C-alpha cells in the first residue's frame, strides 16, 4: 500500500506541487483582478473593539495568505481571491503556468528564491503551495550522471528534497503551511510517472520523521473526484452534470477552478461552501444576458448582436466574475459611461445618479447624441446655470471652468488659449468636454468615476460610498470586482430573470 493510499482522508493541507502536462495550454504569469487590493496590512482588534461578523470564521481580516504554484493554482486564483477578499484577509497569489522544480524550467523559475522574496515582501501567516507535473528535458542528473526520469526512485528523492527545501523557506517566518494534493489526470501513464510520485512525496512530508515543517493538506484529489480519488471529467453541480476538467484531462474548467478554490478556502479554515460555478446566477448564459440587459441596456431583439461577447466564457476561459468584470469594463459601457460621469462633474459639480448615467450613456452608444451633445444638454440645465451663469463672457466662462473642473485658478497661457478657441468658434459644450477629459481632471476624478460606473453598471444603482475627488484609485477591474462582492450585487443578481428565452 502506498503512502498516498494510506492517507486518503488525511487532515487539511495547502501546498501542492502541480505541473502542466506536455502540450497543455498554460503559459504566462497571471494574477486575479483584485491582486493589488488584496495585498494589504490589517491590524488586529484592540480589546473591546467591535469585530464584524465575517462570513468565514477560520479566515479572518488578520490573516495574510500567500498562494504559490503553477497553472492549476493560476486557474483557481480568481475564485480563491474573491473568497479571501470577502473574508477580509490580505492575500498574494503568485502563480506561473508551466513552472516546476526541475530541468530547464527550474533554471528559468527558481521557486526557492522566488518564494523567499514573496515571504520577505508579504510576511504571510498562511502559505498554500501547489506544484504538480512540469518535468521537461533537459532533466537534472542523478549521482551516477544519468538523467532523472519521471517516476523513478531518483525522481521521488529529488522532488521530495526540493519540496522540503521550499517548505522550509515559506515557513521561515512562522507561517502555517498547506500543500495541495494534485487530482488524478485522465492518463494513467501520466499519473504513474508524475502525479502519483509527486503526491507520495507530499504525503511523506506529513508522516516521515524529521525536523522540517509538517504541512497540512488541501485535498483537490478528493474535491475534484467526488471523494473517490479517481479521475472524472464532470461532477454534478446544482443537479446538473458539469465539466470540471479541461480537454487535456489535467487542467480545470472555470467550474473546476471554483471547486478547487472552495477546497483551498475550506482547508485554510474558511466556510467550505458548495461549489457555485456561476455564483448567484442559474447558468453561464444568464451571466452574459445579465450584462447585456442590465449593463448594456440591450433589448431582447438586440441580444444576437452581443453573442460574440460570450465566446470567452463559453470556451471556458473566464470565470463568471472575470466575465462580468470584462463586460462591465468594455467600450459599450465603462469606456462610454466614464466620460459621461466626468461631464456631470464638470457641468453640475457632482457624480451622476444611476438613471442619469444610464440614460446619457445609452444615448451616446446608440448614436442619438455625441459627447458634445450631452455636454450641451447638461450646460442648459438649471444646476449648470447656477455654476456657470447664463450670460457670462467667454473669459468668465473659461475662468469658471478652471475653478469648477480643475479646482484651481487659471494660468495665463491656458486662459488665453481657451479664450481664443471660443473666439474662433468652438462651442462652450465642446470646451467643457475637453476640460472634463483633460489628464488633470481624469486623474483627480478617477476613483469616484470608476466607483459610480461600476456600481451603476453592475447593480443598477449607487450601491456604496463614492470616493472624494483626488482619492487614490485602483484599476477599474479591481473596483468592479469589489462590487461583485457586495450584498447589493448579490441581491440584484439573485433576483435576475432574463427578459426573453436564451
* The C-alpha cell that represents 449 in the structure block: 468615476
Top mean pLDDT of 209-213, 304-308, 456-460 is at 456-460
Asked if residue 250 and residue 361 are part of one domain, the reply reads: no
339 and 262 in one domain? no
What does the alpha-carbon distance between residue 198 and residue 129 come to, in Å, rounded to a whole number?
Answer: 13
Q: Residue 401: which CATH number?
A: 1.10.3130
Q: What is the pLDDT of residue 152?
A: 76
How confident is the model at residue 390, as a pLDDT?
67
Give domain status of residue 286, yes or no: no
Sign of CA dihedral 481, 483, 484, 487: positive
Do residues 261 and 338 both lie within one domain? no
pLDDT, tens digit (0-9, with 9 covering 90-100), for 284-333: 777 878 888 777 776 655 656 666 767 666 655 667 788 788 888 877 77
- Predicted confidence (pLDDT) at residue 362 exceeds the cutoff of 60: yes
List the beta strands (DSSP E) in 334-447: none
Query: Looking at the predicted structure, is the pLDDT value of residue 161 above 90?
Result: no
Percent of the chain with pLDDT over 90: 29
Mean per-residue pLDDT over the chain, rounded: 77
Contacts of residue 255, defined as CB under 8 A and 6 or more positions apart, other chains included, come to 235, 237, 242, 243, 244, 275, 277
Q: Is residue 119 part of a domain?
A: yes
Whether 19 maps to a domain, the answer reads yes
What letter would DSSP give residue 152? S
The answer to whether 143 touches 157, Cβ cutoff 8 Å, is no
Cα separation, 67 vs 94, whole angstroms: 6
Structural domains in the chain (count):
2
The burial of 399, by beta-carbon neighbours within 10 Å (0-12 exposed, 13-18 middle, 19 or more buried), is given as: middle
Look up residue 108 and give its three cell numbers: 528559468
Three-state SS string across 256-322, please?
HHHHHHHHHHHHCCCCCCCCCCCCCCCCHHHHHHHHHHHHCCCCHHHHHHHHHHHHHHHCCCCCHHH
Distance from chain centroid for Cα 113: 25
Q: How far apart are CA 185 and CA 188, in angstroms?
A: 7
For residue 367, tell me if it sits in a domain.
Answer: yes
Question: Which residues have CB under 8 Å from 198's CB, separation 6+?
Answer: 17, 19, 131, 132, 133, 159, 182
Q: Is pTM beyond 0.75 here?
A: no
Instruction: State the CB neighbour count (10 A cutoff) for residue 259.
Output: 26
262 lies in the same domain as 341: no
State pLDDT tens for residues 392-406. 899 999 999 999 999
Structure confidence at residue 44 (pLDDT): 38
Same-domain pairing of 255 and 341: no
Last residue of a domain, one of 267, 300, 315: 267
Looking at residue 410, its pLDDT comes to 93
pLDDT the model gives residue 220: 92
Q: Of 248, 267, 286, which residue is a domain's last?
A: 267
Q: How confident is the model at residue 70 (pLDDT cuts 50, 70, 90)?
A: confident
CA 456 vs CA 199, 339, 378, 461, 463: distances in Å: 47, 14, 19, 5, 8
Residues 110, 9 share a domain: yes
Given this model, what pLDDT does residue 290 score? 84
Q: Which three cell numbers stand for residue 455?
A: 456600481
Asked if residue 168 and residue 73 are part of one domain, the reply reads yes
In a domain, 186, yes or no: yes
How is residue 296 written as a grid cell? Answer: 448594456
Residue 25 and residue 128 share a domain: yes
Residue 288 lies in a domain: no
Residue 183 has phi, psi (to 5 degrees) of -70, 155
Amino acid 55: pLDDT:
36
- 158 and 243 in a single domain? The answer is yes
pLDDT per position as a tens digit, 227-260: 888 899 999 877 788 899 999 999 999 899 999 9
Boundary (domain end) residue, out of 245, 267, 289: 267
Dist. CA 17–CA 231, nearest whole Å: 18
Q: How would residue 41 be classed by pLDDT, with cut points 50, 70 and 90?
A: very low
406 and 261 both lie in a single domain: no
249/162 same-domain check: yes
Sign of the C-alpha dihedral computed for residues 480, 484, 487 and 493 taken in this order: positive
How high is the pLDDT of residue 20?
A: 31
E-assigned strand segments in 138-196: 176-180
Which among 2-16, 50-64, 230-244, 259-273 has the top mean pLDDT?
230-244
| pLDDT > 70 fraction of the chain, expressed in percent and rounded | 75
Report angle CA 278, 281, 283 to the nearest 5 degrees.
65
Give residue 36's domain range. 3-42+56-267
CATH of residue 83: 3.40.50.1110
Please give the pLDDT value at position 14.
34
- Residue 255 in any domain: the answer is yes
Does residue 443 lie within any of the structural domains?
Answer: yes
Summarize the confidence of residues 430-450 as an average pLDDT.
Answer: 93
One domain for residues 128 and 206: yes
d(CA 42, CA 122): 12
Q: Which one, of 76, 205, 190, lies nearest residue 130 by Cα?
A: 76
Q: What is the pLDDT of residue 84?
A: 87
H or E segment and range at residue 1: none
Q: What would the mean pLDDT of 106-119 be, rounded to a whole number? A: 77
Amino acid at each position: 500500500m502506498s503512502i498516498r493510499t494510506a492517507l486518503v482522508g488525511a487532515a487539511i493541507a495547502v501546498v501542492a506541487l502541480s505541473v502542466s502536462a506536455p502540450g497543455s495550454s498554460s503559459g504566462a504569469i497571471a494574477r486575479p483582478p483584485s491582486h493589488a487590493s488584496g495585498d494589504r496590512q490589517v491590524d488586529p482588534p484592540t480589546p473591546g473593539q467591535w469585530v464584524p461578523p465575517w462570513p468565514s470564521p477560520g479566515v479572518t481580516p488578520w490573516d495574510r495568505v500567500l498562494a504559490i504554484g503553477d497553472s492549476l493554482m493560476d486557474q483557481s486564483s480568481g475564485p480563491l481571491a474573491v473568497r479571501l477578499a470577502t473574508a477580509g484577509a490580505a492575500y498574494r497569489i503568485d502563480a506561473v503556468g508551466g513552472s516546476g522544480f526541475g530541468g530547464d524550467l527550474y533554471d528559468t523559475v527558481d521557486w526557492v528564491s522566488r518564494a523567499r522574496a514573496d515571504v520577505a515582501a508579504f510576511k504571510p501567516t498562511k502559505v498554500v503551495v501547489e506544484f504538480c507535473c512540469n518535468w521537461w528535458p533537459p532533466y537534472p542528473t542523478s549521482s551516477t550522471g544519468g538523467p532523472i526520469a519521471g517516476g523513478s526512485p531518483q525522481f521521488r528523492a529529488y522532488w521530495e528534497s526540493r519540496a522540503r527545501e521550499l517548505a522550509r523557506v515559506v515557513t521561515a517566518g512562522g507561517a502555517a503551511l498547506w500543500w495541495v494534493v494534485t487530482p488524478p489526470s485522465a492518463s494513467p501513464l501520466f499519473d504513474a510517472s508524475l502525479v502519483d510520485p509527486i503526491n507520495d512525496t507530499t504525503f511523506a512530508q506529513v508522516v516521515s520523521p524529521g525536523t522540517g515543517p509538517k504541512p497540512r493538506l488541501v485535498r483537490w484529489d478528493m474535491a475534484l473526484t467526488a471523494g473517490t480519488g479517481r479521475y472524472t471529467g464532470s461532477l454534478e453541480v446544482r443537479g446538473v452534470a458539469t465539466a470540471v476538467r479541461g480537454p487535456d484531462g489535467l487542467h480545470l474548467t472555470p467550474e473546476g477552478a471554483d471547486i478547487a478554490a472552495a477546497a483551498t478556502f475550506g482547508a485554510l479554515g474558511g466556510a467550505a461552501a458548495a461549489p457555485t460555478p456561476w455564483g448567484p446566477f442559474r447558468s453561464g448564459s444568464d451571466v452574459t444576458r445579465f450584462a447585456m440587459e442590465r449593463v448594456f441596456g440591450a433589448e431582447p431583439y438586440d441580444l444576437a448582436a452581443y453573442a460574440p461577447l460570450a465566446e470567452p466564457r463559453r470556451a471556458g476561459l473566464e470565470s463568471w466574475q472575470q466575465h462580468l468584470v470584462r463586460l462591465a469594463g468594455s467600450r459599450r459601457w465603462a469606456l462610454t459611461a466614464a466620460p459621461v460621469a466626468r461631464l456631470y462633474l464638470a457641468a453640475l459639480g457632482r457624480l451622476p445618479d444611476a438613471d442619469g448615467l444610464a440614460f446619457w450613456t445609452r444615448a451616446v452608444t446608440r448614436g442619438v447624441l455625441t459627447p458634445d451633445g450631452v455636454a450641451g444638454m447638461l450646460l442648459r440645465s438649471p444646476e449648470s446655470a447656477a455654476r456657470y451663469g447664463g450670460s457670462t463672457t467667454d473669459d468668465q466662462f473659461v475662468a469658471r471652468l478652471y475653478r469648477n473642473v480643475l479646482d484651481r485658478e487659471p494660468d495665463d497661457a491656458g486662459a488665453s488659449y481657451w479664450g481664443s478657441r471660443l473666439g474662433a468658434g468652438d462651442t462652450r459644450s465642446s470646451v467643457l468636454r475637453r476640460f472634463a477629459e483633460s489628464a488633470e481632471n481624469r486623474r483627480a476624478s478617477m476613483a469616484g468615476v470608476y466607483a459610480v460606473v461600476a456600481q451603476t453598471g453592475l447593480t443598477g444603482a449607487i450601491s456604496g460610498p463614492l470616493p472624494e475627488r483626488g482619492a487614490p484609485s485602483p484599476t477599474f477591474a479591481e473596483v468592479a470586482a469589489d462590487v461583485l462582492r457586495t450584498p447589493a450585487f448579490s441581491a440584484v443578481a439573485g433576483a435576475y430573470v432574463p427578459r426573453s428565452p436564451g
